Amino acid sequence: MEHIRTTKVEQVKLLDRFSTSNKSLTGTLYLTATHLLFIESSQRETWILHHHIAAVEKLPLTTSGCPLVIQCKNFRIVHFVVPRERDCHDIYNSLLQLSRTAQYDELYAFSYNPKQNSSEQVKGWQLIDLAEEYKRMGVPNANWQLSDANRDYKICETYPKELYVPRTASKPIIVGSSKFRSKGRFPVLSYYHKDKEAAICRCSQPLSGFSARCLEDEHMLQAISKANPSNRFMYVMDTRPKLNAMANRAAGKGYENEDNYSNIRFQFVGIENIHVMRSSLQKLLEVSGTKGLSVNDFLSGLENSGWLRHIKAVLDAAVFLVKAIAVESASVLVHCSDGWDRTSQVCSLGALLLDSYYRTIKGFMVLIEKDWISFGHKFSDRCCQLDGDPKEISPVFTQFLESVWNLTEQFPQGFEYNEAFLLQIHEHVHSCQFGNFLGNCQKEREELKFKEKTYSLWPFLLQEQKKYQNPLYNPDFSPELTLLEPNTVSFNFKFWRNMYHQFDRSMHPRQSVLDLIMNMSEQNKQMEKDIKELEAKIKRKNSQSDAVLVKEPLQSAPPAPMALKTSPCFKKEQPLMPVNDSVRTIEGSNTADNRYSEFMEEFSKAEPAVVSLEYGMARMTC
């Protein structure tokens, strides 16, 4: 590729991110068209996708070489020292070019070839079918219908084609309402709760200014509340802080005036905007990336960043929404400004709390496809897939994943998926390796023919779903439509170490309970399978031999893994699945992995006497 001038640099040092000394690993750095690759002398490889690179920084030259710091969108930070400045400069420039893509078709997804044929590719894209999902929810029905108003993306460019609206909302109402809503994003169905007959609807802010009204929009809201036979009142949730919403009135936008809409209860829930969230994450990363951080600096930094406050605000909003539906059977209309950031967060989390389907692996994929991808969360802008306006970048989707993680911590048996699943999705939202998250809305994706040129992430995740299964998941814990009632007291929100320090291995527990349990249940499953095969084998053998003897060996064939030890043929014929012992090993049992090995170095520096212990007592002064 034209951007790559140097493809290989030897004798590059990789510094430990948190080391206070200059501990490092030496290896070779390779630059490929898609990845930056570092191979240590011990052959351990570190792959960094160019699209994952958020920032590259060249630090001032030191005696050991030219430092190059790379920050990734998956929160990996690597610190290289390149011996020669020219090499460093070349790599720096190449990475700058490679990490900034100007056009979609230069993204990795367009060159990534997972060796699928075209029918597999098509099938992959069909895995998640939103029409099927609405059917599962119970729509269309007597009160809700599919509208073709947006068939050609004429009414709203950023909405999908298929939209569900109340039956009583005629086309003129829809059109009128959409003209009164920012970016034409009129109220549509996001989730329908069939037991309560209540709906979560979503839209953007009304163009009400200080006094404007729109009869069609008022009719639209009335249609939504009428579509709910259980409760005629509906909530309108403005997820913004009241001040922000009021400021928008000056720009001809704003929020619903309760006097103009009948039967609504209006509520602000105060989630901050994308700019506040961006700088909050920035502050959080600054704190967590500090070397030699004290507990107090960490906690005060965590507080000052406001990050956990924002996560709590998002989850609190979802809890408010869920209460309206579950307790009052009231429908809720959710909006923010444009209705694609905070609205997506609150609607999807609300549905996740209401409906246990979204707590399964497949259901979570559906939820993301529905409330995030199809309703036009601007993944491309928010994740900076193409070189664009840095002010559009914001960790809105990361916050959603973190909220879900918080729920999985509170309900360890409530989710079919584990943390690794959330981290993997986060990884691919930024990797641009699959087509799902590319672009800002469905219209764009169709025009650029992503489904023909790229692959869908979901089949790949499903294929390796063993890795993402929560071994403690108990489907009986939450039968269909079981409500989760999280406790959003402040102390329940914790810093997500596995997200923000995913690649800083020394910081994590040295032994993982989850991995162990996963291996165990995997093993048990494997053995149960083996038993079935053996039983079948025995059956076959017996049917071949004397029919009279059939009964006895069958009885001796153990029906449950408990009895395995009594089956001698088992061990001979079928080697046990190897126990993955890596989960039992202790990664940091070597102090070199640990940062307090620097205690020694630290006091060596401060008190040179220790260093010179062997050289006699001359310098043993302090």
Partner 1 sequence: MEFAELIKTATVESVLLSGAGLPPVRGTLCITSHHLLLSSRPGGDGAPGTVELWLLIRNVDAVEKRVQNLGWYQPPRTNSSQRDTRLAGSSGTITLRCKDLKVLQLEIPGMEECLNVASSIEALSSVDSVMMMYPFFYRPQDLRLEAGWHLFPLEQYYQQIATQTSQWRLSGVNRDFAACPTYPPAVIVPAAVDDEALRKAARFRQGGRFPVLSYYHQKNGTVMLRSSQPLTGPNRKRCREDELLLGTVLDEGERGFIIDTRSAQAAKQARMTGGGTEPKSSYPRWKRLHRPLERGRPLQESFIKLVDACNDTSLTMDRWLSRLESCRWLSHVKAALSTACLAAQCLDREEACVLVHGAEGTDTTLLVTALAQLILDPGCRTLAGFQGLLEREWIEQAGHPFHLRCARSAYSHARLKQEAPLFLLFLDCVWQLGRQFPFSLEFGERLLLTLFDNAYASSYGTFLGNNEKERCLCKVKESTHSLWAWLNQPEEKRKYLNPLYSRNALVIWPSVEPQSIQLWQGLFFRWIRSSKYLDEAWAEIQRLVENDDTSVEESAGNRRSQSLSDTAAQTENER
Positions 590 through 619 that interact with partner 1 (CB under 8 A): 590-597, 599-600, 603, 607, 609-610, 613, 617
**Residue closer to partner 1, measured from CB, 93 or 413:** 413
SS3 192: strand
Q: Which of 55, 250, 536, 620 binds partner 1 (CB under 8 A)?
A: 620
Q: Contacts from 244-252 at CB under 8 Å and sequence distance 24+?
A: 244/273, 244/337, 245/205, 248/205, 248/337, 249/208, 249/209, 249/210, 250/209, 251/209, 252/207, 252/209, 252/212
**Residue closer to partner 1, measured from CB, 273 or 580:** 580
Question: At closest approach, how far in Å is the CB of 261 from partner 1?
Answer: 32
Which tokens hold the place of 301?
């930094």
**Residue closer to partner 1, measured from CB, 22 or 300:** 300
Check binding of 357 to partner 1 (CB under 8 A). no
45-49, strands of its sheet edge to edge = 45-49, 35-40, 24-31, 8-15, 77-82, 66-72, 53-58
Whether 238 and 268 have beta carbons less than 8 Å apart is answered as yes
Q: Which of 212, 472, 538, 550 binds partner 1 (CB under 8 A)?
A: 472
Question: At closest approach, how far in Å is the CB of 560 from partner 1?
Answer: 8
Question: At closest approach, how far in Å is the CB of 276 from partner 1?
Answer: 14
Q: Which of 16, 18, 253, 254 binds partner 1 (CB under 8 A)?
A: 18
Q: Number of residues interacting with partner 1: please give it, by CB under 8 A.
A: 82
Distance (Å, rounded) from C-alpha 528 to C-alpha 534?
10
Q: Which of 279, 523, 535, 574 binds partner 1 (CB under 8 A)?
A: 523
Check binding of 152 to partner 1 (CB under 8 A). no
**Residue closer to partner 1, measured from CB, 183 or 595:** 595
Span interacting with partner 1, options 234-242, 329-337, 391-399, 516-524, rule CB under 8 A: 516-524
Q: Which of 39, 146, 517, 538 binds partner 1 (CB under 8 A)?
A: 517
Q: Which of 122, 545, 586, 605 binds partner 1 (CB under 8 A)?
A: 586
Span interacting with partner 1, options 104-112, 228-236, 343-351, 581-589, rule CB under 8 A: 581-589
Question: At closest approach, how far in Å is the CB of 53 from partner 1?
Answer: 23
Question: At closest approach, how far in Å is the CB of 564 from partner 1?
Answer: 6
Q: Which of 547, 548, 618, 622 binds partner 1 (CB under 8 A)?
A: 622
**Residue closer to partner 1, measured from CB, 40 or 328:** 40
Distance (Å, rounded) from C-alpha 252 to C-alpha 80?
51
Whether 426 and 382 have beta carbons less than 8 Å apart is answered as no
**Residue closer to partner 1, measured from CB, 32 or 294:** 294
Distance (Å, rounded) from C-alpha 569 to C-alpha 524?
18
Span interacting with partner 1, options 242-250, 358-366, 446-454, 582-590, rule CB under 8 A: 582-590
Distance (Å, rounded) from C-alpha 292 to C-alpha 232?
58
For the chain, how many residues are written? 622
**Residue closer to partner 1, measured from CB, 121 or 345:** 345
442-471: contacts with partner 1 (CB under 8 A): 471
237-296: contacts with partner 1 (CB under 8 A): 288, 293-296
Q: Which of 525, 585, 608, 619 binds partner 1 (CB under 8 A)?
A: 585
Q: How many other CB atoms sit within 10 Å of the CB of residue 114?
A: 12
Please, what sign has the CA dihedral across residues 133, 138, 141, 144? negative
183-242: contacts with partner 1 (CB under 8 A): none
Q: Which of 43, 551, 581, 618 binds partner 1 (CB under 8 A)?
A: 581
Distance (Å, rounded) from C-alpha 162 to C-alpha 141?
15
DSSP string, 552-613: HHHHHS-SSGGGGGG-HHHHHHSPPPPP-GGGTS-TT-SGGGSGGGHHHHHHHHH-TTTGGG
Round the CA-based radius of gyration of the chain to a whole number and report it.
Answer: 28
Distance (Å, rounded) from C-alpha 156 to C-alpha 441?
11
484-513: contacts with partner 1 (CB under 8 A): 487, 489-495, 497, 500-501, 506-513
Q: Exposure of 491 by Cβ count < 10 A (0-12 exposed, 13-18 middle, 19+ buried)? A: exposed
Question: At closest approach, how far in Å is the CB of 562 from partner 1?
Answer: 6
Whether 147 and 361 have beta carbons less than 8 Å apart is answered as no
Q: Which of 21, 97, 482, 521 binds partner 1 (CB under 8 A)?
A: 521
Distance (Å, rounded) from C-alpha 296 to C-alpha 276?
24
Q: Which of 524, 543, 545, 556 binds partner 1 (CB under 8 A)?
A: 524
Check binding of 299 to partner 1 (CB under 8 A). yes
**Residue closer to partner 1, measured from CB, 389 or 476:** 476
527-556: contacts with partner 1 (CB under 8 A): 527
**Residue closer to partner 1, measured from CB, 132 or 485:** 485
Identify the CA nearest to 362 among candidates 436, 421, 424, 298.
421
Catalytic residue ranges: 336
Identify the CA nearest to 193 among candidates 340, 357, 408.
357
Amino acid in position 284: L
308-327: contacts with partner 1 (CB under 8 A): 308-309, 312
Question: At closest approach, how far in Å is the CB of 364 from partner 1?
Answer: 19
Whether 533 and 105 have beta carbons less than 8 Å apart is answered as no
Q: Residue written as tokens 């040092």?
A: 13
Q: How many other CB atoms sit within 10 Å of the CB of residue 62?
A: 10
Span interacting with partner 1, options 57-65, 76-84, 407-415, 449-457, rule CB under 8 A: 407-415
Distance (Å, rounded) from C-alpha 453 to C-alpha 447?
12
Identify the CA nearest to 256 among candidates 166, 333, 144.
333
560-579: contacts with partner 1 (CB under 8 A): 561-562, 564-565, 571, 576, 579
Q: Which of 483, 520, 538, 550 binds partner 1 (CB under 8 A)?
A: 520
Question: At closest approach, how far in Å is the CB of 603 from partner 1?
Answer: 6
73-92: contacts with partner 1 (CB under 8 A): none
